[in-house]
Structure 1
Amino acid sequence: VCQRVEDVWLMVSVKRASLVRAAAKPARPVQSVPPHSAALPIINNNKAAILDLKLVIVYGILAL
């Protein structure tokens, strides 16, 4: 039983040391992304516009 307690204590101390090292690392900066319009593109062909709208509604994709 003593050996198992020592093994668990060693495992916990190693884990604690790795967490302390991870917490000491500086956070990586987040790269900002400029905002863009989410408007659908204007299409002159009415059939193509309807098809694109169906693709957006059904599949969540936009065919350009």
Structure 2
Amino acid sequence: MVFKVQFEAGNKNNKLNPPNFRGLKNVALEINDGYFYKYPYSSTLDYNSAKEDLKEVKSKGYSFA
């Protein structure tokens, strides 16, 4: 099982530059139905690492992650 922290989604395609995501690196882009964009942070097989990633995302102001 792969764990990811999704912190943003919408119909706008943002470039994957850290300044566009409050300094977060390791951001990926997933496209659903050709027009809906999801932005997960990191990808890990370890649940505890994912929990640490969630803390990092929330510390950047993404409280709904």
Tell whether the structures are fold-level matches, with TM greater than 0.5: no
Give the TM-score normalised by structure 2. 0.30
TM-score of the pair, normalised by structure 1: 0.30
Larger radius of gyration between Structure 1 and Structure 2: 1
More helix by share: 1
